[in-house]
Amino acid sequence: MVGSARLDWLDVEHRPSAGRAAQPIYLDHAATTPLDPEVRAALLPWLGELFGNPSSAHGHGRRARAAVDDARDRVAAAAGCASREVILTSGGTEADNLALRGVLERWGAERGRHLVVSAIEHEAVLATAQRLAEAGRADLTVVDCDRQGRIDPAAVASAVRPDTVLVSVMLANNEVGTVQDVPAIAAAVRARNPRSLVHTDAVQALGRLPLGLGALGVDLLSLSAHKAYGPQGVGALVAGHAVFPAAQITGGGQERERRSGTENVAGVVGFGAAAELARRRQETDAAELSHLAGWLTDLLMESVPGRWRSLSSWACSRCRLRSSSLAIAPAAWSARTCAWSRSTSVEGRSGLAPGSGGRSGEEGAGSPWRWRLPPRWPTADRAAGDRSPSGPLPTWR
């Protein structure tokens, strides 16, 4: 089956044709997305003829301020929040840092300094929480996930204490794609301690899932433009108006004293355009991606029956692609932190010798070019209508 003609589309797509160089297939959109042409067109003037400091009172400044405000409105519309709740940052990492550090600094003395995070958070949350704990500034509880990579709301709630100031559980995972039931997690946290704040890292969800502080039941939400066809180096922390995280970058008092620094006007304008696109295309993109994911999984399941395959030794040779030009998100890192990965990535645990079959993979050491099929996503489920690894798209709004 590996030699199946069903893989020929990859060959055909990428064979250099008369006068045209081969185009790599880019499948690493969880790492970053290409800039959408509409986004590029929106931001380019701000790298050329348009300029100005949004804090300046003269015409150039006012024009830059208007552009930033307009972009902020678009981000707010996509994130389901008020414009004044959007704190523009240098990206998702800074947004996550501001959520954890800013909440701890603002509310720690009053509400406690206990943090709860899930084990499958992006390092921007996990490493920050660990750093705060190591520095003695916070107590930390890390909640593990189950075999499907899901975080149990009851497990999160049972980790919450009277002194829990913040719970952070991501909406969509950047490695295995699992979507958490954030509304249920937030409700369980509040039932246990109504004073605890809830943050979700929604960086991978913009343009893919419905967002909103109210709809998700959270107080804070992180976004990043470059995961949704916007530019790199710009993002936002959405913070409910009563949260007011303490600024971690101090200076001129921009962003209503919550994040200082002259705004990255071109980047912010691009973010606004990307957010607008995300809002407009979300439903059609989700349906199309879900369809493509099902189709690709079928293809792989039929072509590579019961085997984990290293792309470098299989797909790249089969498809005549240089491995450096084919980007597949390496899933190996999740093995460090996730119970699902630990239990499914070591074949010995399920009694299988490495490579002897089944859908479990080898431990993620070595080559990052390792293909991982979605867990528990058999063809039968999809035939029954479940088209995504974590079930049908949630509809919490």
- What is the contact surface with ligand PLP in residues (CB under 6 A)? 91-93, 96, 122, 124, 170, 174, 201, 203-204, 224, 226, 235
Which residue's CB comes closest to ligand PLP? Answer: 92
CB 279 within 8 A of CB 77: yes
Strand partners, 140: 115
Q: How far is the CB of 226 from ligand PLP (least distance, A)?
A: 6
Of 121 and 347, nearer to ligand PLP (C-beta) is 121
Of 128 and 344, nearer to ligand PLP (C-beta) is 128
Distance of CA 265 to the CA centre of its chain: 23
Q: How far is the CB of 120 from ligand PLP (least distance, A)?
A: 10
Instruction: Specify the length of the chain in residues.
Output: 397
CB burial string 14-49: b at 16+ within 10 A, e below: beeeeeeeeeebeeebbebbebbeebbebbeebeee
Q: How far is the CB of 210 from ligand PLP (least distance, A)?
A: 17
Rounded distance, CA 225 to CA 43, Å? 13
Of 156 and 315, nearer to ligand PLP (C-beta) is 156
Beta strands in the chain (DSSP E): 86-89, 114-118, 139-143, 164-168, 197-201, 220-224, 235-239
Q: How far is the CB of 177 from ligand PLP (least distance, A)?
A: 11
Helix residue spans in 80-167 (DSSP H): 92-111, 123-134, 153-159
Of 224 and 360, nearer to ligand PLP (C-beta) is 224
Distance of CA 33 to the CA centre of its chain: 12
Backbone phi, then psi, for 116, in 5-degree steps? -120, 125
Of 156 and 319, nearer to ligand PLP (C-beta) is 156
What SS3 class is residue 55? coil
Of 126 and 315, nearer to ligand PLP (C-beta) is 126
* 226 closest CA partner among 35, 22, 14: 35
Of 178 and 193, nearer to ligand PLP (C-beta) is 178
Q: How far is the CB of 174 from ligand PLP (least distance, A)?
A: 3
Q: How far is the CB of 364 from ligand PLP (least distance, A)?
A: 17
Angle at 213 between CA 209 and CA 219, to 5 degrees: 130
Amino acid at 144: D
The torsion angle over the Cα atoms of residues 389, 393, 396 and 397, rounded to 10 degrees, is: 160
Of 118 and 254, nearer to ligand PLP (C-beta) is 118
Q: How far is the CB of 258 from ligand PLP (least distance, A)?
A: 18
Of 248 and 312, nearer to ligand PLP (C-beta) is 248
Token couple for 23:
């185009």
Q: How far is the CB of 122 from ligand PLP (least distance, A)?
A: 3
Angle at 382 between CA 380 and CA 384, to 5 degrees: 75
Q: How far is the CB of 96 from ligand PLP (least distance, A)?
A: 6
